[in-house]
Amino acid sequence: MPGVALPKPSFRRGSPLDGVDAYAFAVSKKGLEWAKEKGGPLARLVIELGDFSANTEETKLIYRQETWPPRLILAGGGDREWYGDAERLRVAVAAAVKAARELRKVHRLGIEVEPGLLQDAAGEGGSEEWAWEQALVAADMANYVYSLKKKSRAPHTLEEIVLDAPEASEKTARAIAVAVRVARDVANAPANKMNPEKLEEYVKSLAREVPVEVEVLHRPELEELGMGGILAVGAGSVVEPRLIIVRYRGGGGLRIALIGKAVTFDAGGLDLKPPQYMLEMKYDKAGGAAALGSVVAAALLGLPVEVTALIPAVENLPDGRSYKPLDVLEMYNGLTVEVGNTDAEGRLIMADALAYAAEKIKPDYMLDYATLTGAAVIALGSHAAALLGNDEELLKMVEEAAWRAGEPAWRLPMWPVYEKQLESKTADTSNVGGRPAGTITAAKFLEKFVGDTRWAHLDIAGVAWVQEKGPWRPYYSQGGATGWGVRTTIELIRSLTRGKN
């Protein structure tokens, strides 16, 4: 993957009947009459028999003998769902793509969206143009597969998905879909293919095709700057740690910093993880992937904003050079940290990056993404990211943006009482606060490094990849990384810059 060209989304704007070998209806329960009219006698029969009732994710394949295309897929968009109307649209479109992929013979799929389903979604996002964009992005996400080198029965993907969307929607959807693919590719990559060094190469290869500038701070610079957190966590690997900085300058006056945890593999360090927990830790770079995808999206969309992604990239491994329990680290902002556990490494690298961003960029808003705590999975499972921060107004905006994007985030408190759990006898703070409220104490730790910058933190440990208990959406297709965070950030930046250009 490193060095390869920008990924390509699989949708095209056009008539869903033009040159396709399967035709699908994304239809809500209220739209069943529409489907009867439009689908011909067999679709009418199937619906009247009650064999398809448009429940969410329900699909039905119908063969038609005298009409082209010969396959008609009915995909349900339900009626009322806890996740709202935009998500019903995404789910229906994605279910159609999934059903077509499973046939393994379909190459071009046209999707017709029932007008009522589209209108309900538009009500949530503000316009039909937005709803179409969401449908396109969901279609592409459902067709995603991590580029496997696999000869035996690789998953089948569609060459083209055709929707009759407005031109403007196609344009924005293209940017977002590419960015989500970038984020999923980075998070899905095996740790041997995407260590800190290879991540740097990959980011630089992206910068040849996307209007962003890349600056990378290597060990000598990190030492010069006193980034004790990044240096300590990275010490146990033969691949040196680095801070990857990706800038998009879109003007407009608003400055946003996005900080993403990229532990390309988290073995736990000397506090080694047991095998079953270590197994999934190639995904511990998903936060960095989200920050990278977000800046790529902002750049491709040409949003009127300055976005800087700061991605501390390290491997957390046990070794003769590893940092050790009860070490005391000196961080970029001058605070000292006692290492209570080397497996609480994410907050150490994030702390340096947050403090550096706050001081050097002086952003109006700072947002971070990190697969930071197992406790976030205990608290919310795989159906919401944990959202914490220091600014009520920003947190409300992030919460709303996340909801619109179909990436729910749920808030946890940041009361000062939680800070007590972080007290240390040998340093200003410990990096661990014990088992209770683990997600909150991790955020309280980060808070010590953001200064007075308005800041929101997304703990995506439960949602960054498809785990045993979710998140289940047909657009996460064959599992793996979800790209969680990219679509939220785009919604947030668009709401912050609305009216500017």
Tell me the catalytic residues.
273, 347
- 388 is a site residue for ligand BES (CB under 6 A): no
Does 459 engage in binding with Mn ion (CB under 5 A)? Answer: no
Token pair of 316 as six digits: 């957390």
Which residue lies nearer to ligand BES by CB, 54 or 380?
380
Q: Residue 275 is encoded by which pair of tokens?
A: 């095998």
Nearer to Zn ion, 39 or 288 (CB): 288
Q: CA separation (Å) from 230 to 192, 194, 240, 257, 371?
A: 20, 18, 10, 18, 16
Considering the rule CB under 6 A, would residue 205 count as an interface residue with ligand BES?
no
User: Which of the residues 399 through 458 are near ligand BES (CB under 6 A)?
Assistant: 432, 438
Nearer to ligand BES, 101 or 444 (CB): 444
- The DSSP string of 429-477 is EES---STTHHHHHHHHHHTTSTTS-EEEEE-TTTSB-BTTB---GGGT
374 binds ligand BES (CB under 6 A): yes
Please work out the total of residues on this chain that contact Mn ion, with binding judged by CB under 5 A. 3
Residue nearest to ligand BES (CB): 374
Rounded to an integer, what distance in angstroms lies between the CA atom of residue 122 and that of residue 134? 10
- Select from 39-47, 109-117, 194-202, 339-347 the region that touches ligand BES (CB under 6 A): 339-347
- Only one residue has tokens 């003998």, namely 65
Torsion of CA 64, 70, 71, 76, to 10 degrees: -60
Looking at the Cβ atoms of 317 and 481, the one nearer to Mn ion is 317
When binding is defined by CB under 6 A, the residue of 287, 346, 408, 471 that contacts ligand BES is 346
461 touches ligand BES (CB under 6 A):
yes
Identify which of residues 72 and 344 has a Cβ nearer to ligand BES in the complex: 344
Beta strand pairing call for 255-260 and 328-330: unpaired
Q: How far is the CB of 373 from ligand BES (least distance, A)?
A: 4
Residue 95 contacts residue 109 (beta carbons within 8 Å):
no
Query: Under 8 Å CB-to-CB from 153, ≥6 apart: which residues?
Result: none
User: Does residue 266 touch Mn ion according to CB under 5 A?
Assistant: yes
Residue placing its CB nearer to Zn ion in the complex, 120 or 459: 459
Among 163, 375, 384, 463, binds ligand BES (CB under 6 A): 375
**Residue with smallest beta-carbon separation from Zn ion:** 266
Tell whether residue 491 is a contact of ligand BES (CB under 6 A).
no
**Nearer residue to Mn ion within complex by CB, 57 or 266:** 266
Phi, psi of 183 (to 5 degrees): -60, -45
461 binds, among ligand BES, Zn ion, Mn ion, none (CB under 5 to 8 A by kind): ligand BES
Helix (H, G, I), strand (E, B) or coil at 3: coil
**What does the block give as tokens for 219?**
């060990």
Min dist. Cβ of residue 364 to Mn ion (A): 31
55 binding partner (options ligand BES, Zn ion, Mn ion, none; Cβ < 5 to 8 Å by kind): none
Contacts with Zn ion by CB under 5 A lie at 263, 266, 284, 346
Sort strands 71-76 and 59-63 into parallel, antiparallel or unpaired: antiparallel
* Residue 448 backbone phi and psi in degrees, to 5: -70, -10
**Does the protein bind ligand BES through residue 338 (CB under 6 A)?**
no
Q: Is 384 in the site for ligand BES (CB under 6 A)?
A: no
SS (H, E, C) 167-184: HHHHHHHHHHHHHHHHHH
Binding ligand BES (rule: CB under 6 A), the pick from 120, 140, 343, 491 is 343
List the one residue out of 237, 248, 227 whose CA is nearest residue 198: 237
HSE, side-chain direction, 13 A CA sphere, residue 457 = 32
Q: Which is nearer to Mn ion, 390 or 439 (CB)?
A: 439
Residues with Cβ within 8 Å of 250's Cβ and at least 6 positions away in sequence, in order, are 298, 299, 302, 303, 304, 305, 306, 307
* Of residues 140 and 343, the one with the C-beta less far from Mn ion: 343
Identified binder of ligand BES from the candidate list 57, 85, 345, 352, rule CB under 6 A: 345
Only segment of 35-43, 94-102, 130-138, 370-378 that touches ligand BES (CB under 6 A):
370-378
CB-count exposure of residue 152 (10 Å: 0-12, 13-18, 19+):
exposed
Specify the DSSP element, H or E, that contains 354: helix 346-360
Q: What's the closest the beta carbon of residue 247 comes to ligand BES, in angstroms?
A: 27
Distance CA 30, CA 116 (A): 7
- Among 82-90, 140-148, 180-188, 336-344, the segment contacting ligand BES (CB under 6 A): 336-344
Q: Select the residue interacting with ligand BES from 112, 240, 284, 491 (CB under 6 A).
A: 284
Question: Under rule CB under 5 A, which residues in 335-354 are in contact with Mn ion?
Answer: 343, 345
By the rule CB under 6 A, 211 interacts with ligand BES = no
Residues that bind ligand BES (CB under 6 A): 266, 284, 341, 343-346, 371-375, 377, 432, 438, 461
Residues that bind Mn ion (CB under 5 A): 266, 343, 345
